[in-house]
Amino acid sequence: MDYKKTLLAPVKIGNRVCQNRFFAQPMECVDSDDEGNPTDLTYARYENLYKGEFGLVDLEAITVTNESRARKTQLEIMPRNEKALTKFMKRLKEVNPKVLIVFQLTHSGEISEPEFSRRVTVKPLYGFEGDLLTEEEVDKIIEQFVLSSKIAQNVGADGIDLKFCHGYLGSQILRPYNDRKWKYGGAWENRSRFAYDLIERIQRAVNDKNFLLGSKLSIWEGFPGGCGSAGPDSPLMDITESIDLVRGLEERGAAYFVESLGNVHCSMAYMEAIQDEPYLSYLHFYFSNIIKQNVKPETVVIGSHFSSFRGKKNKLLSIEPEKSSMFAMGARCIEDGMMDMIGLGRQSFADPLTPLKLREGREDEIKYCTQCMNCEELMIRQKPVGCVLYNKPYTELFREVRKTLGKLAELHT
Ligand SMILES: Cc1cc2nc3c(=O)[nH]c(=O)nc-3n(C[C@H](O)[C@H](O)[C@H](O)COP(=O)(O)O)c2cc1C
């Protein structure tokens, strides 16, 4: 199979063109300065992705407000950040003008860390607390998203990704569990209002056909009442609303979707398949395919979970290794029409030059992610994140963290 041809073929996204089928997943790295601006560590990470020739880069979850956020040193996109982000984008375009970039706009809601910010919720999950958001506060959050989209446009981003995945505020409002009787809860018409108002208002504010709008969504959050379940406390999967969301966003101008599943608190294995369960990746392909079948042919669907496949030496059962390598599997998924691009998350840490090395015929030099999850541990511990296995400063940081703080209890509990 000529996977190189498939993966290096350009693809149209909205009115723009991605130079190839590689998508760098948004990966939070907790390395901003105190005002949420990029630091040298942030520059180094993104410069590498640009050198690595990803067709489309999704800038990690960047918060529209520093009042409620998940990480102490999380990137921020408020008026005070505009100058620093302009400089950052100028540098990236100098490194490689062909790469497209969208910013993943987020509000952490109930995942906000009370130690340094305000935890807010639309309806507290069992075991969770937080200030109950009022309608006026959600209206204000919509305004913050709109303002951040304008800033993204001003600083030179090619578009935005509305984060409706993994249990952050976007998912919290959408999920059936949000059965509170208010403007943004109860009937689907109310729960989807936030997403639909948001995209419509952003569309009007940016007023630019070339500015990409899209969303990374958890089609199924994997717990009773989560997105993609049959009712507020139902354990049954029913993705009717998730499909409706995809169609509704598409009707309102979304040009692409990034498939995801799970929730950071309770169903993380769906969000990031681990070493012992790489087979969960196939579940993601199933859902990408469903999204693909429910959108217009020109809408770009981006699949996730290719870090499980590695090179030709993976240990996945049942099919010949050369058919289940990351590249062979990615090309197969595109050729079979399940998706248009392949998302690399942890693999983009392990080797940000992956697409470049494929193009130059240097596949043997690619370093593959082993799903050790040490990057995730750094993030949970609010430390700067990178590949602990192959990137020495992060190896040393991780060693230091373990020495001073001890072992972290199970990540996937
Ligand atoms: C350290 C770390 C940070 C992440 N940050 C984000 C993020 O900012 N936004 C997001 O949507 N997903 C985030 N994810 C999830 C990844 O984007 C991706 O969906 C997941 O890791 C599965 O892809 P992979 O198997 O290629 O790693 C993060 C994952 C990790 C391990």
Q: Does any ligand 1 atom lie closer than 6 A to the CB of residue 305?
A: yes
Whether residues 96 and 245 fall in one domain: yes
Q: Closest Cα partner for 27 from 258, 326, 316?
A: 258
Whether residues 257 and 223 fall in one domain: yes
3-state helix, strand, coil in the chain (%, to 5): 40, 15, 45
Which atom of ligand 1 has the smallest separation from the CA of 346? Answer: 27
Whether residues 269 and 412 fall in one domain: no
**In terms of DSSP bridges, do strands 16-18 and 11-13 run parallel, antiparallel, or are they unpaired?**
antiparallel
Q: Does any ligand 1 atom lie closer than 6 A to the CB of residue 344?
A: yes
Whether residues 41 and 114 fall in one domain: yes
Q: Does any ligand 1 atom lie closer than 6 A to the CB of residue 379?
A: yes
Listed in sequence order, the residues at least 6 apart from 138 whose beta carbon sits closer than 8 Å to its beta carbon are 122, 173, 183, 184, 194
pTM, two decimals, is 0.96
Which atom of ligand 1 has the smallest separation from the CA of 60? Answer: 8
Q: Does any ligand 1 atom lie closer than 6 A to the CB of residue 161?
A: no
Query: Which residues of the chain, if any, have pLDDT below 70?
Result: 1, 315, 317-318, 409-413
Whether residues 383 and 357 fall in one domain: no
Amino acid at 32: S
| Residue 186 burial by Cβ neighbours in a 10 Å radius (0-12, 13-18, 19+) | middle
Domain span holding position 335: 3-370
First to last CA, the chain: 39
Q: Closest Cα partner for 270 from 287, 258, 283?
A: 283
Whether residues 209 and 334 fall in one domain: yes
Mutate to test the pocket of ligand 1, among 108, 272, 369 (most ligand atoms within 8 A of CB): 272
Protein residue whose Cα sits closest to atom 18 of ligand 1:
345
| Structural domains in the chain (count) | 2
Mutate to test the pocket of ligand 1, among 29, 102, 346, 378 (most ligand atoms within 8 A of CB): 346
Whether residues 303 and 407 fall in one domain: no
Q: Does any ligand 1 atom lie closer than 6 A to the CB of residue 60?
A: yes
Whether residues 394 and 366 fall in one domain: no
Which atom of ligand 1 has the smallest separation from the CA of 376? Answer: 1
* Tens-digit pLDDT profile for residues 101-149: 999 999 999 999 999 999 999 999 888 889 999 999 999 999 999 999 9
Do 20 and 55 form a contact (C-beta atoms < 8 A)? yes
Q: Quote the pLDDT of residue 312.
A: 76
Whether residues 254 and 309 fall in one domain: yes
Which atom of ligand 1 has the smallest separation from the CA of 306? Answer: 26
Whether residues 362 and 400 fall in one domain: no
Count of CB atoms situated within 10 Å of the CB of 286: 12
Protein residue whose Cα sits closest to atom 28 of ligand 1:
27
Mutate to test the pocket of ligand 1, among 28, 56, 270, 347 (most ligand atoms within 8 A of CB): 28
What's the full length of the chain, in residues? 413
Compute the CA torsion angle 274, 278, 283, 286 (nearest 10 deg).
Answer: 130
Q: Does any ligand 1 atom lie closer than 6 A to the CB of residue 169?
A: no
Whether residues 381 and 239 fall in one domain: no
Do 211 and 158 form a contact (C-beta atoms < 8 A)? yes
Name the E strands within 114-171. Answer: 120-121, 131-132, 159-164
CATH number at residue 52: 3.20.20.70
Q: Does any ligand 1 atom lie closer than 6 A to the CB of residue 376?
A: yes
Q: Does any ligand 1 atom lie closer than 6 A to the CB of residue 58?
A: no
Q: Quote the pLDDT of residue 412.
A: 46
Instruction: Return the SS3 of 50.
Output: helix
Whether residues 265 and 393 fall in one domain: no
CA distance 411 to 376: 8
Q: Quote the pLDDT of residue 413.
A: 36
